[in-house]
């Protein structure tokens, strides 16, 4: 049993006291305004309204369908409502048909607005509420104009003489008009999830409309109209009270859910922090496996480095927002709420963990990454919703230390301890995703050039070289075409710069780094086989090889296989061959050997990023000066210097042998291109759908 009572000392605050068997007797404060029931917190109120929007649109669609069907039936019946052809009767029927046509028009407009997803998706929840009530207000007077008695009265005719004679006497009543008004009241209060305060205009207008028609124009019930008015008013009041009670319980449930999710997230953060503390101060650990070795469980560890600092752990776990605020102020990346203006309707991208919208930071256009909980459109379960904050703090922990021209710049983060929420402020990049850039044929106005493909691959390679050279190493963890954005140069229309973004699944390569995720189409097979496998840089290298294949050919890896088939094949170590095209260009022939090496099934057989960068530099030299001139951002001297540089990777001997084999394969790649492509095409299975992407962080 729930009893609502005014909170002591706070006359406009409700407190909920739960009583009864097994109930928690603690007082839970429901922080709302007493009359309107609005949450005092504007973001919570916005989330409440947004959470009702989908149900409002769906229910209103079916109400409009019923309204249209009833109107069509009445349109057929109304012309035959009376056999009289008097001028007064004709004008009255015409007025009724005009009113009925207006009802049908309102129903059709509502069907279009609610049935077409492109329109309903753009409607702001507040606008949808106002529009729903406006249609109800529009229908109130039309109900009386469709009634033969009141239509005659509106035109100044006597209903008895208009619709009767010496032999026929019509008995008029308010029953149909009152019944129609009651249906509208019940539909808006019980079927549509509208806030009770928004429905107040309809309630007032319904009562006043009946009083005006019945007593000003004169109703058919005469003196009985008073009792009808009292009963109808009682119905409206009861409907309003019922709507208010339902809304009160909805708001209580929402606040309880928010409270429980906050506690769950806080508990997870604290447990994670305690585990890290116990690992750092607990019992002795077994010695870490050497670089390039296996730990005996099938998990390959390329490095074993010290744990992150206490500061990094505090940010990554998000266990104490107040402490993170202090760290942000000390490191100069904390953004105050008044410095940031957000445009929530300007959605730039979205993913599993959040949305990226436009905004302004101190007058500068920026991209703001927000959790879906704030935007109010999440449909995920509770554990995934709490993971949004974990992903957000993970990005803060990693991005705050990264500075590279091929990585989207991190300006800071806006933290809100009261809402347990964070917003990432990132560089605004003007351009499409790399996937769109390749599929749509490059820069508008000219076809995609081989130099453009090379530039995109080289920019991404440089970003990964930088990430893997950090101490501890940084692993992106979800490298794919939609996580790289192509920035166009306003001064040089033909020039662009590829930038890596979305570090929601990134990891720092520490002794106890968390397991990795990713998207199946681009994910390394060892991660698919063992999702709990320790993080390593070779997963990024595999994804980079797949990405390079897509950029070079415009073909998705596993392009004709379903997701389930991909996972099944990778778990069986049956890595399908890449479907290389039969006609191989000179650059494709140069890049194919190292792309195949990146796709090796065993992680230790894959080359490292410095080796791949050396291969790319050598390819650039072999392609000639004209190709170098087309590839914007490269200088001939730098190319020659990188190509002549001898890099000694810290890999075991097996890695060196694999790299040597890669260079030897370069000489025969052109001759082997056609047979291998034919074998790949011949072994491809038929599939009914293209694999979808999943598990990625918030897009940008």
Cβ 401 vs Cβ 309: under 8 Å: no
Residue 503, strand partner residues: none
Rounded CA-CA distance 33/346 in Å is 31
**Pairing mode, strands 10-18 and 27-30:** antiparallel
Q: How far apart are CA 171 and CA 166, in angstroms?
A: 14
Tell me whether residue 369 is annotated as binding.
Answer: yes
Q: How does DSSP classify residue 533?
A: P
Torsions phi, psi of 639, nearest 5? -65, -50
511 burial via Cβ count (<10 Å: 0-12, 13-18, 19+): middle
Q: Which residues of 313-342 are buried (b: 16+ CB within 10 A; e: fewer)?
A: bbbbbbbbbeebeebbeeeebbbeeeebeb
Q: Determine contact, residues 119/126, Cβ cutoff 8 Å.
A: no
How many angstroms separate the Cα of 624 from the Cα of each of 553, 594, 617, 642, 665? Answer: 21, 20, 12, 15, 21
Residue 412 has φ and ψ, to the nearest 5°, of 160, -170
For the chain, counts of helices (H) and of strands (E) = 24, 14
- Return the axis-axis angle of helices 609-623 and 586-598, rounded to nearest 10°: 170
- Among 266, 310, 270, CA closest to 421: 266
- In order of 11, 292, 503, 544, the CA distances from 531 in angstroms are 54, 20, 18, 19
Dist. CA 154–CA 156, nearest whole Å: 5
Contact 658, 596 (CB under 8 A): no
| Phi, psi dihedrals of residue 35, rounded to the nearest 5° | -85, -55
| Token pair in block for residue 675 | 């047979």
Backbone phi and psi for residue 12, each to the nearest 5 degrees, phi listed first: -110, 20
Which pair of structure tokens corresponds to residue 346?
A: 């300007």
Q: Which residue has the tokens 């056999």?
A: 83
Residue 9: count of CB within 10 angstroms of its CB: 6
CA end-to-end span of the chain: 47
Interatomic CA distance for residues 65 and 61, integer angstroms? 6
Chain-centre distance of CA 455, in angstroms? 30
* Cα dist from 262 to 30, 280, 416, whole Å: 16, 27, 13
Helix H or strand E segment including 266: helix 225-281
Residue in 189, 182, 191 with CA at minimum distance from that of residue 209: 182
- Phi-psi bin for 488: left (phi > 0), alpha (psi -120 to 50), beta? beta
> In the chain, how long is the greatest CA-to-CA distance?
115
How distant is the alpha carbon of residue 303 from its chain centre?
Answer: 35
The C-alpha atoms of residue 677 and residue 666 are separated, in whole angstroms, by 16
Closest CA to 356 of 508, 504, 507, 523: 504
Residues 474 and 97: their CA atoms lie apart, in Å, by 72
- The CA-atom distances, in angstroms, between 175 and each of 41, 139, 179, 219, 429 are 45, 17, 6, 11, 64
With contact defined as beta carbons under 8 Å apart, do 232 and 199 qualify? Answer: no
CB contact at 8 A, 335 and 400:
no
Q: Binding site membership for ATP: which residues?
A: 369
Q: Binding site membership: which residues?
A: 369
């Amino acid at each position: 049993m729930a009893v609502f009572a005014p909170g002591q000392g706070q006359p406009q605050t409700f407190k909920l006291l739960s009583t009864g068997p097994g109930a928690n007797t603690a007082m839970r404060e429901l922080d709302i305004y007493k009359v309107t029931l609005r949450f005092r917190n504007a973001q919570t109120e916005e989330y409440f309204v947004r959470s009702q929007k989908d149900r409002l649109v769906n229910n209103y669609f079916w109400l409009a369908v019923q309204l249209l069907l009833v109107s069509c039936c009445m349109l057929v019946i109304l012309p035959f409502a009376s056999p009289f052809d008097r001028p007064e009767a004709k004008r009255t029927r015409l007025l009724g048909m005009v009113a009925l046509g207006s009802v049908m028009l309102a129903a059709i407009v509502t069907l279009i607005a609610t049935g077409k997803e492109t329109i309903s998706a753009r409607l702001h929840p507040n606008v949808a509420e106002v529009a729903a009530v406006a249609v109800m207000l529009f229908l109130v007077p039309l109900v009386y104009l469709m009634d033969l008695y009141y239509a005659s009265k509106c035109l100044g005719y006597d209903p008895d003489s208009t619709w009767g004679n010496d032999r026929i006497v019509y008995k008029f009543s308010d029953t149909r008009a009152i019944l129609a008004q009651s249906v509208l009241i019940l539909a808006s209060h019980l079927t549509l999830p509208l806030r009770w305060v928004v429905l107040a205009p309809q309630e007032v207008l319904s009562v006043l409309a009946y009083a005006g028609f019945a007593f000003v124009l004169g109703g058919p019930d005469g003196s009985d109209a008073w009792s009808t008015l009292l009963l109808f008013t009682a119905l409206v009041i009861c409907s309003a009270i019922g709507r208010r009670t339902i809304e009160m319980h909805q708001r209580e449930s929402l606040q309880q859910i928010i409270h429980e999710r906050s506690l769950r997230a806080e508990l997870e953060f604290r447990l994670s922090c305690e585990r890290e503390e116990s690992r750092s101060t607990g019992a002795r650990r077994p010695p870490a496996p050497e670089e390039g070795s296996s730990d005996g469980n099938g998990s390959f560890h390329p490095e074993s480095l010290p744990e992150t600092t206490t500061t990094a752990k505090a940010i990554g776990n998000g266990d104490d927002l107040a402490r993170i605020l202090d760290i942000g102020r000390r490191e100069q990346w904390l953004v105050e709420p008044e410095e940031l203006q957000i445009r929530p309707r300007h959605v730039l991208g979205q993913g599993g963990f959040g949305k990226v919208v436009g905004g302004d930071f101190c007058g500068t256009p920026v991209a703001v990454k927000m959790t879906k909980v704030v935007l109010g459109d999440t449909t995920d379960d509770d554990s995934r919703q709490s993971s949004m904050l974990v992903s957000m703090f993970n990005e803060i922990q990693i991005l705050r230390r990264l500075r590279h021209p091929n990585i989207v710049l991190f300006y800071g983060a806006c933290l809100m301890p009261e809402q347990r929420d964070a917003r990432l402020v990132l560089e605004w990049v003007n351009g499409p995703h790399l996937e769109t850039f390749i599929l749509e044929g490059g820069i508008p106005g000219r076809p995609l050039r081989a130099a453009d493909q090379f530039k995109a691959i080289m920019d991404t390679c440089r970003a990964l070289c930088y990430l893997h050279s950090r101490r501890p190493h940084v692993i992106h963890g979800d490298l794919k075409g939609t996580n790289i954005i192509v920035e166009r140069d306003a001064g040089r229309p033909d020039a662009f710069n590829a930038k890596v973004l979305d570090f929601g699944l990134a990891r720092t390569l520490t002794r106890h780094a968390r397991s990795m995720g990713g998207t199946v189409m681009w994910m390394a097979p060892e991660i698919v086989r063992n999702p709990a496998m320790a993080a390593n840089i070779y997963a990024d290298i595999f994804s980079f090889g797949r990405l390079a294949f897509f950029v070079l050919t415009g073909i998705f890896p596993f392009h004709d296989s379903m997701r389930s088939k991909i996972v099944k094949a990778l778990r069986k170590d049956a890595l399908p061959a890449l479907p290389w095209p039969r006609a191989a260009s000179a650059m494709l022939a140069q890049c194919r050997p190292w792309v195949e090496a990146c796709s090796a099934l065993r992680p230790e057989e894959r080359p490292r990023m410095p080796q791949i960068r050396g291969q790319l530099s050598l390819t650039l030299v072999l392609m000639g000066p004209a190709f170098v001139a087309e590839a914007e951002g490269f200088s001939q001297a730098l190319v020659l210097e990188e190509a002549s540089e001898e890099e000694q990777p810290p890999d075991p001997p097996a890695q060196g042998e694999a790299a040597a084999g890669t260079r030897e394969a370069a000489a025969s790649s052109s001759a082997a291109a056609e047979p291998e492509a034919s074998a790949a095409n011949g072994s491809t299975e038929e599939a009914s759908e293209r694999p979808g992407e999943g598990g990625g962080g918030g897009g940008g």
